[in-house]
Amino acid sequence: MAEQDPTPEQLAAIAAENREEESSVNYKPPAQKTLQEIQQLDQDDESLRKYKEALLGNVSTTVADPNAPNVQVTKLTLVCETAPLPLTLDLTGDLEGFKKQSFVLKEGVEYKIKISFKVNRDIVSGLKYVQQTYRKGVKIDKTDYMVGSYGPRPEEYEFLTPLEEAPKGMLARGTYNIKSKFTDDDKHDHLSWEWNLNIKKEWKD
């Protein structure tokens, strides 16, 4: 049976339903401090000093490219156990190319989004992954994922969203345009990119 596009009225109803599920959090970020300032606080408190060392690591061994941004988002991966091939976007290259290609996702499968990123120099607080989903130019969903606060280290961090289920049904099939942003408490736009998700009846339809 041929796929049927949703009407503008149906898209508007989906968008209205998702807006009702969005909630705002009254959160006031703490004052920004450099890594050195945090280390120098409470130097006389041995237990606190050891706790901060365990939390932040040995900062003297952290070597970062001075020209690199403090936060580098390197990769987005759709984690799906039933996917026949890895679904990964390399975010260190040409982001414009992602607008011309699509991930294929089988309808109804469960998946998570994994964001890989690095923190190079200073602690960053309140990292957040924001995702807006559009269908035929209509915004039908917006989700904010709280990632947390992280200190610098040579290794990458990974953040996994909660388990989600891909839309299913004849009206759900088709291409979704997704606008993603990695930001923080201070509203720094660490990286913004667009990509497409194509929901199909089968992995290879």
Q: What is the pLDDT of residue 66?
A: 76
Whole-Å CA distances, 148 to 107, 116, 184: 31, 13, 9
Q: What is the pLDDT of residue 61?
A: 45
Low-confidence ranges of the chain (pLDDT < 50): 1, 23-25, 60-62
- CB contact at 8 A, 195 and 176: no
Q: Of all helices (H) and strands (E), which one includes residue 38?
A: helix 35-40
Q: In what order do the strands lie in the sheet with 124-135?
A: 102-106, 191-200, 174-183, 124-135, 138-150
Q: Give me the long-range contacts of 63-66 (CB less than 8 A, separation at least 24).
A: 63/154, 64/120, 64/121, 64/152, 65/120
Helices (H) and strands (E) in the chain, counts: 3, 10
Q: What is the pLDDT of residue 114?
A: 97
- CB contact at 8 A, 76 and 158: no
Spatial separation of the C-alpha atoms in residues 40 and 119, rounded to whole Å: 20
Q: What is the pLDDT of residue 182?
A: 97
Q: What is the pTM of this model?
A: 0.73
